[in-house]
């Protein structure tokens, strides 16, 4: 079982991601693809006169301020443009994909944060009307039902609260919860950089391996969105995923390369896995 | 088994549609909801500087000219905003909905028209680069799999071509093909009018019943989009659906009212059904 997340940043080659995953599926792998859509959401938000607003929580994590209007734009991009664009690529490649959000069938159920406390210009502020939250459970039954019948799930936020509201959740942490719930061996997280870099300006400064036990020490290199990626990866390994690999979605065969160890690998030092 | 289509025109009360269907489902009915999104697609197209272009085929049917850019806008609205908005309503009502396009799992597979011939200012023109088509088969296995496991499918165009391309299909004809394939007894088609009117300006001129055998004679009253609705209804009854009801989605309990015969009913004159 293979779980792959492809981000939504600029420069990602979705054709290459889908082609690579299609050939892995056609050689017999079961797979779920999770995707983002942040760059396209930003672009559409700008066009619609509702510029994106990124906020930083008191614990230092960045997220998209998601009021109802933003949530609708988010759903149009993530569940419409991105999700169906990927499903169409797979259908052309002969993979019978089924595109779903975390709301569908309550695949990703979580809790909406009633308020979030952010830091803005050095001051704390409490935001309400924010539809964000954190996943607490995964509907594996539905995912396995689809996989058992030959369908490939293509999954994207939002998740759903217990009360049935759409909630924006971080895709990297969502895929970590999914990978852990499925008990997968490897989780591949692709974005538009080669992996975790010591120096963001220098792609040759790639960190090849992060032992789980030393993850805290590497947090200093994780800037912006990378902080949540690393946090999600650490959570996934803590919860039983053997390896998380951060790979580069701008390359040909990005998944196969990540599976071969190209990128940043997070795993227990005591692990006996092959790379 | 109940199949309901709710259109995408202005004035439709989606909350009322979902509430009514939720209570029918919770009283034990199996149901599939199909929806449109035309008014919202027009609004977004305008906002994005790509005004909608409706074209009329040589046989007199109106459709949306759907180039790739339009297709993306279409997917954002139909598969994003509308589909997930309906799924969220159902989740809040305790119905475990799964939102899907006709591309997902190849639920609606059809043939893309390589060209369409339209009439514009009295002249014939051939359009290429139009992603529209007609459904040829329905993946009942996937729909039944979901229904058998307690999920309620919420289905929307686009469909998928054999080659895997997204194709815009008319929602009313799509639901007719679906209803016929499922062999449903009743198909409820809701829009923002009371049914087929003799006089579009006069809502009291409702036609209560159209015997299948006389459908041609009623075609004269069907203007604009109503032409395809009536065509779809006729096709559905010809293919075995006992009754198609055109109902009013602006009313409370619109589905229950349609099931009770409020609206325009299309059926065989020889039918022995109760209304």
Q: What is the DSSP letter of B160?
A: E
Average pLDDT, integer, range B9-34 = 97
**CA separation for the pair A166, B173 (Å, rounded):** 31
pTM of the model: 0.95
What pLDDT does A115 receive?
87
Counting one residue from A and one from B, how many pairs have CB atoms under 8 Å apart?
125
Q: Name every chain A residue with its beta carbon within 8 A of the beta carbon of B100.
A: 98-100, 104
Given a cut of 50, whether residue A275 has pLDDT beyond it is: no
Say if residues B185 and B1 touch (Cβ distance below 8 Å).
yes
CA angle, residues A244, A247, A253, in degrees to nearest 5: 120
Higher pLDDT, B61 or A155: A155
Query: What is the nearest CA distance from A71 to chain B, expressed in angstroms?
Result: 9
Q: Name every chain A residue with its beta carbon within 8 A of the beta carbon of B85.
A: 72, 75
Average pLDDT, integer, range B93-115 = 96
ipTM over 0.90 threshold:
yes
H or E element, residue A69: helix A68-75
Structural domains in chain B, sorted by start: 2-267 (3.40.1160.10)
pLDDT band at A274 (very low <50, low <70, confident <90, very high): very low
Residue A143 neighbours by CB under 8 Å, 6+ apart: A32, A107, A153, A155, A182
Alpha helices in chain B (DSSP H): 14-26, 38-47, 68-75, 83-92, 140-148, 171-182, 215-218, 225-238, 254-259
Query: What is the nearest CA distance from A201 to chain B, expressed in angstroms?
Result: 34
What does residue A156 show for φ and ψ, rounded to 5 degrees?
-150, 150
Q: Name every chain A residue with its beta carbon within 8 A of the beta carbon of B48.
A: 47-48
**CA separation for the pair B205, A71 (Å, rounded):** 41
H or E element, residue A63: strand A62-64
Cα Rg of chain A (Å, integer): 18
Contact A98 B104 (CB under 8 A): yes
Of the spans A222-231, B34-43, B264-273, which averages the highest pLDDT? B34-43
In this predicted model, what pLDDT tens digit does every residue of B71-95 receive, in sequence order?
Answer: 999 999 999 999 999 999 999 999 9
Q: Name every chain A residue with its beta carbon within 8 A of the beta carbon of B149.
A: 141-142, 145
In this predicted model, what pLDDT tens digit does every residue of A83-107 receive, in sequence order?
Answer: 999 999 999 999 999 999 999 999 9
Given a cut of 90, whether residue A225 has pLDDT beyond it is: no
What pLDDT does B274 receive?
45
Peptide bond into B158 cis (omega under 30): yes
In this predicted model, what pLDDT tens digit does every residue of B30-52 receive, in sequence order?
Answer: 999 999 999 999 999 999 999 99
Q: Name every chain B residue with its beta carbon within 8 A of the beta carbon of A47.
A: 47-48
What pLDDT does B275 receive?
43
What pLDDT does A176 receive?
94
Query: What is the nearest CA distance from B157 to chain A, expressed in angstroms?
Result: 11
Given a cut of 60, whether residue A273 has pLDDT beyond it is: no
Please give the residue of chain B at the shortest CA–CA distance from A79: B80
Contact B105 A92 (CB under 8 A): no
Higher pLDDT, A60 or A155: A155
In this predicted model, what pLDDT tens digit does every residue of A167-223 receive, in sequence order?
Answer: 999 999 999 999 999 999 999 999 999 999 999 899 999 999 999 999 999 999 998
Kind of pairing between the strands at B2-6 and B186-191: parallel
Tokens of A2: 């293979």
CA angle, residues A43, A45, A51, in degrees to nearest 5: 105
In this predicted model, what pLDDT tens digit does every residue of A234-271 receive, in sequence order?
Answer: 999 999 999 999 999 999 999 999 999 999 999 998 64
Say if residues B58 and B220 touch (Cβ distance below 8 Å).
no
| Least trusted range by pLDDT, from A30-44, B6-20, B220-234 | B220-234
Burial class (CB in 10 A: 0-12, 13-18, 19+), B132: buried
Under an 8 Å CB criterion, which residues of B touch A? 44, 47-48, 72, 75-81, 83-85, 87-88, 90-94, 96-101, 103-106, 141-142, 145, 149, 151, 158, 160, 163-166
């Amino acid at each position: 079982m293979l779980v792959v997340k492809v981000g939504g940043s600029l420069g990602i080659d979705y054709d290459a991601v889908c082609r690579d995953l299609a050939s892995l599926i056609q050689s017999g792998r079961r797979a779920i693809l999770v995707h983002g859509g942040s760059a396209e959401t930003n672009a559409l938000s700008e066009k619609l006169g509702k510029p994106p607003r990124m906020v930083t929580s008191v614990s230092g994590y960045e997220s998209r301020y998601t009021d109802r209007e933003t949530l609708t734009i988010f759903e149009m991009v993530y569940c419409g443009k991105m999700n169906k664009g990927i499903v169409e690529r797979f259908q052309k490649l002969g993979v019978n994909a089924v595109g779903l959000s975390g709301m569908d069938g309550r695949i990703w159920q979580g809790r909406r944060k009633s308020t979030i406390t952010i830091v803005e210009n050095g001051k704390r502020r409490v935001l309400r009307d924010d539809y964000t939250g954190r996943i607490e459970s995964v509907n594996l039954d539905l995912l396995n039902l689809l996989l058992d019948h030959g369908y490939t799930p293509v999954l994207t936020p939002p998740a759903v609260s217990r009360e049935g509201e759409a909630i924006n959740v971080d895709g990297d942490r969502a895929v970590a919860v999914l990978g852990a719930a499925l008990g997968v061996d490897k989780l591949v997280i692709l974005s538009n950089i080669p992996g975790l870099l010591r120096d963001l300006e220098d792609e040759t400064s790639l960190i090849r391996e992060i032992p789980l036990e030393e993850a805290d020490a590497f947090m200093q290199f994780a800037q912006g969105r990378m902080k949540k990626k690393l946090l999600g990866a650490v959570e996934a390994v803590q919860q039983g995923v053997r390896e998380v690999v951060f790979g580069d979605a701008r390359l040909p065969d990005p998944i196969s390369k990540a599976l071969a160890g190209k990128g940043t690998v997070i795993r227990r030092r005591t692990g006996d896995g092959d790379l």
